Amino acid sequence: MARFLLRRLALGLLIMWLISLAVFALFFIAPNDVARTLAGRQATPETVALISARLGLDQPIWKQYLDFLGKALHGDLGYDYYHQVPVTEIMAQALPITLSLVVGGAIIWLVMGVFNGVVSAIRPRSVTDRSLTAFALFFYSMPTFFLGLLLLYFLYYQLTVAGYPIFPPGGYAPLSEGFGPWLQHMILPWFTLALVSAATYTRLTRASMLEVLGEDYVRTARAKGIRESRVITRHALRAALTPIVTQFGIDVGALVGGVVVTETVFSLPGLGKTSIDAINQQDLPVIIGIVLFASLAVVVANIVVDIFYAVLDPRVRLH
């Protein structure tokens, strides 16, 4: 197990290094000369040269890369081009918002998806199964931004017009302002994120459960005289969870780097919206910072999934 983990960690580091190379290359692939952009349209060549020197752009590329890597490893991702705010500070402000969105949304979609999937699998091809599948597919086929706008239209606009201003039109209220306002701001984004993803989990759980329910050890559990509810949960679901956990880890890892569409629809200034703004402004240090963080999240999520795999399935431990 320890050797397995070390190998996974080494692989993760290698991937992160490759990503840092790719991300660094962004500086040079970008269409604009950074120093010239910053200096403004009427700058003299001297000003451009000065800015270039201050940003270290006059150094050889390998030195610039080592400099960039060294600073990044010390948690210094540079300053944004426009306001000279440290990138880490920008990200530190955006991250809690994205985390609020992802964690809440993930819990909702996991509970909904697994519950619906199990209910579907217990009575396959029944009316319940078919309606749950239809429900899942309905939201699965809907674009996220459209679902977000629908929720806003009915639950914010129509409710507010009718005199029940329960949900705000968007934006974020930090937890420091109280749990109530935070919850009010998060519920619609949560469900937008969750309803679209729950479909995947419903189908995944249903397929996984149907397979496991046909296993010999489930028949053994029934032959032992175990209550059916316990057969479903302790025996079947426990074994069916493995592929679900894998998918869940990867999905959450990918979303922690920013939930672009949902954050944009609900004007949540999380990592997703920050990165869109940075891309629009060609604010390279911010883009690079978020890309690095998002990659790190995916790499870490994959390692966590592997550890969880071994926790769930005792047969994995020996290898």
Partner 1 sequence: MALLEVRDLRVAFNTPDGVLEAVRGLSFDVDRGSTLAIVGESGSGKSVATQTITGLTSGARVSGSARFDGTELIGASSEVLRTIRGARIGMIFQDPLSSLHPYYTVGWQIVEMIRAHDRSVSTAAARRRAADLLGVVGIPHARTRIDDYPHQFSGGMRQRVMIAMAMALDPVLLIADEPTTALDVTVQAQVLAVMRRLQEDFGTAIILITHDLGVVAEMSDEVVVMYAGSAMERAARRTLFYANHHPYSEGLLGSLPARGGARDRLTPILGVPPSLIGLPAGCPFAPRCPYAFARCWSETPPLRMVFDDPAHTSACWLTTVLGDRESLRAARVQRELDQPRASTPAPRVEVGP
Q: Residues in the site for partner 1, rule: CB under 8 A?
A: 215-217, 219-228, 230, 235, 238-239, 312-315
- For residues 56 and 190, give the distance between their C-alpha atoms in angstroms, rounded to a whole number: 43
Least separation, in Å, of the C-beta of 307 and partner 1? Answer: 16
The number of CA neighbours under 13 Å toward the Cβ of 220 is 7
Closest separation between CB of residue 314 and partner 1, Å? 5
Rounded CA-CA distance 57/308 in Å is: 44
Write down the least CB distance from residue 206 to partner 1, Å: 18
Residue ranges of alpha helices (H) inside the chain are: 2-29, 34-39, 45-54, 61-73, 87-122, 127-140, 144-151, 159-161, 179-213, 216-223, 228-230, 238-256, 260-265, 271-280, 284-312
d(CA 200, CA 110): 10
Do 148 and 261 form a contact (C-beta atoms < 8 A)? Answer: yes
Task: Tell me whether residue 74 or residue 224 sits nearer to partner 1 (CB atom).
Answer: 224
The residue among 12, 85, 114 whose CA lies nearest residue 274 is 85
CB 199 within 8 A of CB 137: yes
Rounded least distance, CB 223 to partner 1, Å: 4
Query: HSE (CB half, 13 Å, CA atoms) of 246?
Result: 11
Looking at the Cβ atoms of 142 and 226, the one nearer to partner 1 is: 226
**Closer by beta carbon to partner 1, 81 or else 308:** 308
Q: How far is the CB of 282 from partner 1 (least distance, A)?
A: 52
**Looking at beta carbons only, is 162 or 318 nearer to partner 1?**
318
Please identify, using beta-carbon distances, which residue of 41 and 315 lies nearer to partner 1: 315
Nearest residue (CB) to partner 1, 3 versus 125: 125
CA-wise closest residue to 196 among 297, 305, 125, 108 = 108
Non-local CB neighbours of 154 within 8 Å, separated by 6+ positions = none
Task: Give the C-alpha separation, 319 to 316, whole Å.
Answer: 6
CB of 218 to partner 1, least distance (A): 8
Beta bridge partners of 86: 79
Q: First and final CA of the chain: distance in angstroms?
A: 8
Q: How far is the CB of 167 from partner 1 (least distance, A)?
A: 42
CB of 313 to partner 1, least distance (A): 6
The nearer residue to partner 1, 17 or 217, going by C-beta atoms, is 217
